[in-house]
Structure 1
Amino acid sequence: MNFAKNSFIVNNKLQLAIVDKRIPKNMETNLNNMGVSIIKSTCCSNTYEAIKYHPDISVCKLNDNNIVVAPNVYNYYKDVLKPYGFNVLCGDSIIKNKYPYNIHYNIVILKNFAIHNFKYTDKVILNYLEKNNIKKINVSQGYCKCSICIVDDNSLITSDEGIYKEVIKYGIDCLLIEKGHIDLFELNYGFIGGCSFLISNNELAFLGNIKNHPDYDKILDFIESKNKKLVSLSDDKLLDLGSVIPLLEY
């Protein structure tokens, strides 16, 4: 059992992750059958219904055992995560109901880059980025992690044109896909980053059936070019549950 060394990258096989409490039972069962145990998120009642259980709204995993959590839900995650050896840091920013005051922790952190609208990034996270010389890629999209599927440290998938145009300037390989075709409770549609996550060093899992997406062939070609396989956790339509946050690896 080891800490997932990088923020969203799984180098071996995922063992433990934080997942939206509302995950459908069939998807939870399939994860358990793959050896992945889950910690269910708690409600951040200060923000709106569709995203109030999304882990990436109130939790940001840094590297190794460091995790920043919004003050709104700090006590819950401190009690749940400290027994595993995590250093649970209380963030500076309180999550509020509406955009942009609910995006402070919704950041993508890769090995060498961080991607966010840094006008609103939590100060504890900003200090960490500065201390570790992680280069900041500023984008206008605040729901940044929701919008980005992380394939590896230099490969991403997004439907956000602004993110796409910005990250390719830094030599990041990025696939731009069609918007929509992902459920997000009562909202019009969800995002690719909220329904996908790495479960091993060569497997990218989807909450639902990725074959139902109109850009499936493009996604498959892109993933295979990175020596990875696609795993669908159910036959249902893709569901945005906010980012699944990897914690421990085998």
Structure 2
Amino acid sequence: MIAICDFRLPEGHKDRLSQFYNVIEFSAKGMVEKPLEGHPDIFICQNEKHLIIAPNISSNFLNQLKTNKIEFNFGENEVGFSYPEVARYNNIITQNFILCNSKTCDTMFLEMTDYQRVISVKQSFCRCSSFALTDDFIITSDAGVYKKLQSEEIESVLFSCEDIVLEGYKNGLLGGCLGLDKNNGRLVVAGSLERYSEGEKLKKLISSHNLEILELGDSPLIDVGGIFVL
């Protein structure tokens, strides 16, 4: 299996990840602000069948997708350097809904007809802030997203993001620390839940969904723009 990750993922974390997956490092140097230039969730959105990627993704990364026979479709618009264009692909797709900001996401997401509904929130960085443990259960570090999901009768739990690390920002966001290997029932974590203030709460929730935890290191949780397991 393949795992797509930030090229700046700490070496120890990367070594641990490579014990389980063929690792493809993602880089978008100079295309977005430096703290985000290795974050795959800025240029990539994942669904059950394939990836949806920005048209201006690097040719080197595109070649790696082709070499590894990873299916993908291009979105309509390029990722821009600044907000809101930088957030166009930072969405969550499950079998039942798309979670996005309908005002800032790429138009392709609004044209999809395979999904029951589009749930639009004010937070444009949905994949950064939130994560789908299952097709019907979302964890999030954004209070506005949590409130919207509750109103839509979608199970969700709100977590803190205060001690999540993202260099250049006061803190990172929860979804950016996580990846899901559905085939093996495994949640990949960039860092250690022992170093997270709500780690025990999250561990219990993960266990209740019959997922095992793969912690990549003993660091605090690091927002690396998500880890995409294919």
- Asked if TM exceeds 0.5, the reply is yes
Task: Report the Cα offset of residue 96 of structure 1.
Answer: 1.7
SS of aligned partner of 1:171: coil
Residues 159 and 198, structure 2, Cα contact 8 Å, conserved in 1: yes
Question: Corresponding residue for 2:181?
Answer: 199
Question: Which of 130, 145, 149 is residue 127 of structure 2 equivalent to?
Answer: 145
Question: Does residue 115 in structure 1 map to residue 99 in structure 2?
Answer: yes
Question: Corresponding residue for 1:4?
Answer: none
Q: How does 1:205-220 map to 2 (within 5 A)?
A: 205-220=188-203
Cα separation, 1, equivalents of 2:75 and 2:128:
19
Task: Report the Cα offset of residue 48 of structure 1.
Answer: 0.5
Q: How does 1:1-250 map to 2 (within 5 A)?
A: 15-33=1-19, 35-64=20-49, 66-73=50-57, 75-127=59-111, 129-130=112-113, 132-200=114-182, 201-247=184-230
Which structure exhibits the higher relative contact order, with contacts defined as CA atoms closer than 8 Å and separated by 6 or more residues? Answer: 1
> For residues 39-59 of structure 1, what are the alpha-carbon distances to aligned partners after superposition, in whole Å with 9 as ceiling and x for unaligned?
111215221010011001011
Residues 112 and 135, structure 1, Cα contact 8 Å, conserved in 2: yes
Cα separation, 1, equivalents of 2:61 and 2:74:
10
SS of aligned partner of 1:98: coil
Cα separation, 2, equivalents of 1:112 and 1:138:
14
**Could you tell me which amino acid in structure 1 is paired with residue 8 of structure 2?**
R
> For residues 203-250 of structure 1, what are the alpha-carbon distances to aligned partners after superposition, in whole Å with 9 as ceiling and x for unaligned?
212101111111122212222221223332111111110011222xxx
Task: Report the Cα offset of residue 74 of structure 1.
Answer: 5.1
- Gap runs ≥5 in structure 1: 1-14
Task: Report the Cα offset of residue 123 of structure 1.
Answer: 2.1
Cα separation, 1, equivalents of 2:73 and 2:60:
12
Residues 99 and 119, structure 2, Cα contact 8 Å, conserved in 1: yes
Cα separation, 1, equivalents of 2:211 and 2:4:
22
Cα separation, 2, equivalents of 1:40 and 1:227:
28
Normalised to the residue count of structure 1, the TM-score between the two structures is: 0.85
- Gap runs ≥5 in structure 2: none
SS of aligned partner of 2:86: coil
Q: Between 35-44 and 135-144, report the one with greater CA deviation.
A: 35-44
Normalised to the residue count of structure 2, the TM-score between the two structures is: 0.92
Residues 69 and 89, structure 1, Cα contact 8 Å, conserved in 2: yes
Aligned pairs, how many? 229
Give the fraction of aligned pairs with identical amino acids, expressed as a percent.
28
Q: CA RMSD in A?
A: 1.7
